[in-house]
Every structure is written in structure tokens, then in C-alpha cells.
Structure 1
Amino acid sequence: MWSCPWSKKVWKFSFLNGVYKQWREPSFIDLLAHVVKTSSNEEVELFSVICWLLWKSRNRFKHEGVVEESKHIVWSANEWLNTFQDAQRSNETVTNDATQKRVQVKWRPPTAPNLKLNTDAAIDYKKKKAGLGMVVRDGEGKLKCAGHKVLPGNPSIVAIEALAVYHGLLLCREAGFQKLVVESDSTIVIDALNKTELDLSVEGGVLDDIKCLASTFKSVLWKKVNREGNIAAHKMAKHALIADKDRLWQEAGPPWLTDIILDECRN
């Protein structure tokens, strides 16, 4: 689960990429205890899902002869965990005058004069390419600009989410925007950007570039949002994989994006 060469390839693309060669735990229980002690709650959840998918992949190889790509296992774990968390949130309720009302998570406009940049990423492992989605809106929910970008290769989930933020900031700088709220559904990326210490992970270079670029703006606030509040950027990233080319829109977006924005403004 941890020490075999194939498993290490999987851990290399996870949040444990900085320690997968260093930790030497005598048993899985010791490894789990170490992860619980040194990681955030979401990282512990992700660790558990990766372990489950590793075992599932092992059985698939043993019984079907199918070998899954290590990056795909980490990507699947992130997708599975995001879907599960969104489902859990949708089932949460709050009490209001003794009446149970379902909590609805959705995109929220920024407070003027700030603009909100939402970013997301998608990966097509079979075609070995990644799509980045960026959407910028104002305090009334109106589109200021949007774009998607296609990158070759199969980068890690964290790296591609970070690159989406980076290219989103580049888009905002070129448009002359100065005060931003930046939202991503990657907890790892947002937590890293909110920290002041040097990031020594594989993605640390990209995260440092983001912080350096952010320092050229008047203000940038980093916020984590779940998938339900990041639909426009998520669809934009998916559309990048279909279009297979870079695109940029100013104020008026494609019809499918306009429909999403109008729907979120009505709700």
C-alpha cells in the first residue's frame, strides 16, 4: 500500500509527494497515524480514498489484468471525494424558525469594487492533455471576461489546479483588473496560497509564481469554494478539452456560459 514501487508512483502525485520517499512506517496503522497527525482533515479523507482506490486497482490488475495509470488514481480520488463532499453538503440542513431548510451552495457575487475570479481544471488522461477554465464576474454577477486554455501532458491534480489560478491571474492582469477575490475548489491550492511559509512540494514553484504575480495587484483574497459554487469555471475547463484550443471572451461569453451565469444570478 505504501512501500511497493507501483504505489509510490501514485503517492508521488498526491499531497504526500514530498515525503513518499522518506517515511518508513512499520505498518499501515503506523502510516495512518502519521498521516492523521501531520495532515489536514481533507488530506486524511483524500488519503483514505486513495488507499481504497489502490486496493481496488490491485484487485482489477489481479483479476482482469488491467493496469491503471498512477495519475489517474489520484485524479479519481479527488473527483470521488469532491462528489462525495458535495453530496454531503447538499444533505445538510439548518433550522430556521423550527423549519428545516436545505442548504444550497451556489456562486456568490463579490463585494464591489472587487471582481471574482473562479478557476478550475480538468484532465483527459487518455489524450494526455489538461484544460484550464477561468471566469471573472463583477458584484452584479455580470461577466467581465472568461477563457480556457489547453496544456499538453498529464500533470498532477494539484499542479493543474494551481496553473488554472496562475493563468486566471494573468488574464485579470492583462484586462487591467486590480482587486480580486479568487475562488478554486482545490483545498490544497487555496490553503497553500493562504500560507506565508515557503512551499517545498513539487508544485511549490507554481504556487510561488502565483504569489509573486498576486503581489502586482492591489488586493487578492484566496477562497475555497465547493464544486456547486464553481460551476462556470468547471464547465469552462471541460469545454477546453472539447474545443482543444485556447479561447478568450470579453463581457459576452458563449451561450452555454451565459445560461449558467443567468441561472446563478436568478438564484
Structure 2
Amino acid sequence: MVDSEVKPETTGHILWSCNTAKDTWAELKVRQTDRIPPLEEFIDVLWWLREHSVVNDWEVFATVGWSLWNNRNVIRHGGQGRQGREIALEAQRYVDEFRNHMPSDLPKLQPPPTKWSLPPPNWYKINVDGAVFKEQGSIGVGVVIRNAKGEVTGAMSKKICLPLGAIEAEVKAVEEGVLLAWDLGLKNVVVEGDSLAVTQALNGVVTPAISIQKVSEGILWWLKKFDNWKILHTRRSSNTAAHVMAKEAKPILDSVIWVEDSPPAIAHQLLYDVLSMDFCPNC
């Protein structure tokens, strides 16, 4: 059973330091030593383990992480949780079955381009997205800023009470993301969104639509204040965290901002984004 009644239910506690997690990792010979500092978020544990070369098989590690999370959800909904040994054996068996059914002559698959990726060292990635709440005559914008370790530097859900359309919502999301990054004192930023029209307009590939021209000009004016900046297009599947934050704006009055903290609504997605990255491309 997850002993969340004793300690705060952080992702670090659920997936690493609770009794069930400890038993699970011990079964897989993943060392839990006193050298690991107390870490509330599992993403911090993950990076510590990676930097200290503790994990030998990242595919099994990721599968165990998901199994522990699912076990926690079963318990929260009144089901019967499993013991650590059972979780470890099932995760290992799942990975072994997958590997055994992969043809040996296939070249190693590269991670699909639709996964979220880290920004370069000393850069920050600003993921942005917009949502239209037609029945309210308003829009929502979502912003998630992460550093080169995938840690949240800042995030925002904001509602703008104007009857704007989809492309206007997308460009307003970029504007809010750039302004938040500037307020946080960031210098090197990658702005990433899933609106191709907005990305092309800001990169000068196409002439901006009249409805977003002024806002686009303002965004470029602000970006020139940064030391370095890029604007990239991505697919929705790698922009999910920002998409959720945009949807979360629907019930709020104005805006909610997080600084160096993970919004609860996207905690699961943030963990997924990091676990989905290829930590050992030469395995």
C-alpha cells in the first residue's frame, strides 16, 4: 500500500521513496543509497540517477515508473494495490516479452519526432497553446516553460475575455509565453507551438493574417530583447502540457501562474514527457 497518509503524496514519494516503490526498485537492483538527497519530484530523482549512472536499463526503469503510478491510481480508486515484488516482476516480464517479439534484423528505431524534447543547455523551452471557449466568448492560453533538465521554470493558465478565433488564441499564447519568460529573467529561449500558421508568420515565412499582425509585431519586438531565441513548430502530441494548461483556463477569472513549481493538472504529462525521452540511444 502507498503510505501517502504518512508523507506528502508527491511524485517523488509515490514513485521512489514510499515503501512499495522501495520494495519494487530493490527487486530490480536499483540502488537507493543515502547519497541521494531528499527529492520531492520524481523528475529530480530521474536526473540524479542519470547523472550518477545508477540505472542500467532505462526501458525497464520507465515501465516500472508507469506501473507504480498505475498502482497508485488503483489504490486511490478503492482497488487492491500490488506488492513491490509483483510490480517489478510484471514490468520486467512486459519488457522481455516486447523485446522477444521484436525481429532481430530490424534497425534500432529512433524516437519519433513528435515526442517533447529538451532545449539546449542554458536554454529554456516555452511551449504554448491556445483554446477557444466559444460559449463564453473568451479564449484560454497555456504556457509551460522548462529548462534543459525538463524541470518547470514557469507555467501559466490565462483566460482572455474576448471573442477571438483559433489563430488569434494561438498568437496570444505565444505573446503570453514570451512575456512570462522575460519576467522570469530568461535569456535564451525556444518558443514552441502547434500552430503552423503562427510559427510561419513569426519566422517571416508568410505574411501574418491581418487579425494577428499587430500582436506578431509586438512578439518579435520582445524577442529581440533576449540574447538568443528561436520559434519552432511542433505537433500537438509533443505540446500536450501547454494544451492542457490552455484548457485549464476555462473556469478561472484571469490567470494563474506557477514559478519553479509543477501545476497539478500537468504533473502526469511532465513525467511522461521526460520518461519518453531516449536516455540511452546506444543501448
Per-residue CA distance 1:110-142 (angstroms, 9 max, x = gap):
011110000001011011111000110011100
CA–CA distance in 2 between the matches of 1:112 and 1:198? 32
Verify: 1:110 aligned to 2:113, yes or no.
no
Task: Using structure 1 for the length normalisation, give the TM-score.
Answer: 0.60
Quote the Cα distance in structure 2 between the aligned partners of 1:206 and 1:183: 17
Match of 2:132 in 1: 123
Q: Which residue of 174, 177, 195 maps to 1:168?
A: 177
1:140 matched to 2:149: yes
Alpha-carbon distance in 1 for matches of 2:187, 2:112: 33
Residue 45 of structure 1 corresponds to which residue in structure 2?
none
Distance 1:174 1:198 in 2: 29
Unaligned 5+ runs, structure 2: 1-103, 277-283
Please state how far the C-alpha of 1:202 moved relative to its aligned partner.
2.4
Letter in 2 for 1:107: W
CA distance in 1, matches of 2:169, 2:130: 6
- Cα contact 2:201–2:207 (8 A) shared by 1: no
Partner of 1:212, secondary structure, is helix
Partner of 2:143: helix, strand, or coil? strand
Structure 2 vs 1, CA of residues 104 and 215 (structure 1 numbering), >3 Å: closer, same or farther? closer
- Among candidates 206, 227, 232, match of residue 223 of structure 1: 232
CA distance in 1, matches of 2:201, 2:135: 29
For residues 179 and 100 of structure 1, the distance between their equivalents in structure 2, rounded to whole angstroms, comes to: 33
**Mapping 1:230-241, distance limit 5 Å:** 230-241=239-250
Q: CA deviation at 1:106?
A: 1.3
Letter in 2 for 1:166: E
TM-score by length of 2: 0.57
Question: Which residue is 2:189 aligned to?
Answer: 180
Count how many residue pairs are aligned between Structure 1 and Structure 2: 173
Unpaired stretches in structure 1, ≥5 consecutive residues:
1-95
Runs of 4+ in 1 over 6 A off after TM superposition: none
Determine which structure has more spread, i.e. the larger CA radius of gyration. Answer: 2
Q: Once the 2 structures are TM-superposed, how far is the Cα of residue 100 of structure 1 from its aligned partner?
A: 9.0
Counterparts of 1:56-67 in structure 2 under 5 Å? none
Identical columns (%):
28
Aligned residue runs from structure 1 range 43-62, under 5 A: none
1: CA distance, partners of 2:256 / 2:122: 26
- CA RMSD, 1 decimal: 2.2
